[in-house]
């Protein structure tokens, strides 16, 4: 008998947890999702370029990466 009550309690807890999770989740429009993905993509690209700047020794490559970093910063300013 106790086992039956225990499983019902677990089911109730899981149902309550799921309902709280669904209520707290934000709903985004397709446009908001696209903008968010674009922002995340630019941030990842910026991080990759910064990482490459730390390891490059070639002045021409460094110059190209600095230009790319500048362009990514401009994109970030527009997106934020």
Give the pair of three-digit tokens for residue 48: 């990759």
pTM for this predicted structure: 0.64
Position 3 scores a pLDDT of: 56
Position 10 scores a pLDDT of: 72
pLDDT digits (tens, 9 = 90+) for 58-71: 999 999 999 999 99
- Which of the pair, 24 or 13, is modelled with greater confidence? 13
pLDDT digits (tens, 9 = 90+) for 34-57: 999 999 999 999 999 999 999 999
**79 touches 38 (CB < 8 A):** yes
**73 touches 46 (CB < 8 A):** yes
Q: How far is CA 39 from its chain centroid?
A: 9
Position 15 scores a pLDDT of: 75
User: Can you tell me the distance from the alpha carbon of 14 to that of 11, in angstroms, rounded to the nearest whole number?
Assistant: 5
Instruction: Give the length of the chain.
Output: 80
**30 touches 46 (CB < 8 A):** no
């Amino acid at each position: 008998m106790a086992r039956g009550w225990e499983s019902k309690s677990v089911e109730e807890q899981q149902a309550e947890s799921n309902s709280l999770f669904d209520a707290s989740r934000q709903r985004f429009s397709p446009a908001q999702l696209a903008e968010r993905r674009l922002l995340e993509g630019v941030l990842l690209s910026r991080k990759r370029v910064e990482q490459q700047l730390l390891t490059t020794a070639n002045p021409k490559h460094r110059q190209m990466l600095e230009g790319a970093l500048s362009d990514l910063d401009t994109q970030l300013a527009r997106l934020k």
